[in-house]
Amino acid sequence: MRHGDFCWLLTGCVLWLLVAPGPANAESPETTRTKSWQFALTANGYLPAISGTAYFPVPGTGASFNLNQSDLISNLKMTFMGAFEVRHGGWGFFTDVLYLDIGRRNTNLHDFTIGDIGIPANTTSDLSIDMKSWIANAVGEYRVLGEGQSALDAVVGVRYLSLKERLEWNFSGSLGGLPEAARAGNQEISSQIVDGIVGVKGRLAGDGGWLMPFYLDVGTGGAHFTWQGAIGLAYMFQWGEVGLLYRYIDFRFDSSTLQDLTIAGPMVSATFRW
């Protein structure tokens, strides 16, 4: 799914919520504002695909190792993801955390360059990359529309990204004009970025306890641009709900070492409310 199509899908959900008639047992805004404190804890299982472009400085050459990560990163070592939300009346706050530890070793890969020098097809390459990343969102929310189980919140907050990548490489064979210093080595890059974000969060109520939750935000700051979206289906129980969603997180950087990072894939969630 292209990120442009994903944005249009979420925008359509928001418009549907704004124009759709509320159910007969809809809550009034006064009832929503006077409710007591409410809490929610969410555990998620996330299986994303990860892609991006990083530039690893090569000592002694004045060049960078330009690597398309989508061809390297496919092995997930460890991941953790969870969220917590508190609400009182129309106001609320939520935070969620995503941790990824990913790495892989590849041989005979040629989809990269060092400086302006391409790697000949008959060169033997041995590449190993590891990436550890924390992504955390801290967001305030205000209920602008609430009809029965359907709801729409305006959100504003910050997104924090901590990213550390390590690359090791070794080349042998026909290396053309590749400098000796660039034929083997290792390098590490890291970034810590904070962005301000604004967006919407909500859900559309269906029949028989079914919901369509959605989320969309955009932001900037430490990154040139970032956005995040999620949409899916959930089913309500007395204790909360379970859902299956698709989540997309994207960063565009103004950096000499990082150009972009995309994390996208299906997500299973279980939310407990009290």
Residue 95 in any domain: the answer is yes
Residue 71 in any domain: the answer is yes
Structurally, the chain folds into a number of domains equal to 1
Looking at residue 22, its pLDDT comes to 44
pLDDT in tens, 189-219: 888 999 999 999 999 998 889 999 999 999 9
Residue 77 in any domain: the answer is yes
Residue 208 structural domain: 3-18+33-273
pLDDT in tens, 105-137: 766 655 566 666 666 656 677 778 788 999 999
Q: What is the CATH number of the domain that holds 137?
A: 2.40.128
pLDDT in tens, 147-174: 778 999 999 999 999 999 888 877 776 6
Q: Does pTM top 0.75 for this prediction? A: yes
- Measured torsion, CA atoms of residues 76, 190, 68, 267, in degrees rounded to the nearest 10: 40
Residue 171 in any domain: the answer is yes
Residue 207 in any domain: the answer is yes
Residue 90 in any domain: the answer is yes
Residue 215 in any domain: the answer is yes
Residue 116 in any domain: the answer is yes
pLDDT classification of 188: cutoffs 50, 70, 90: confident
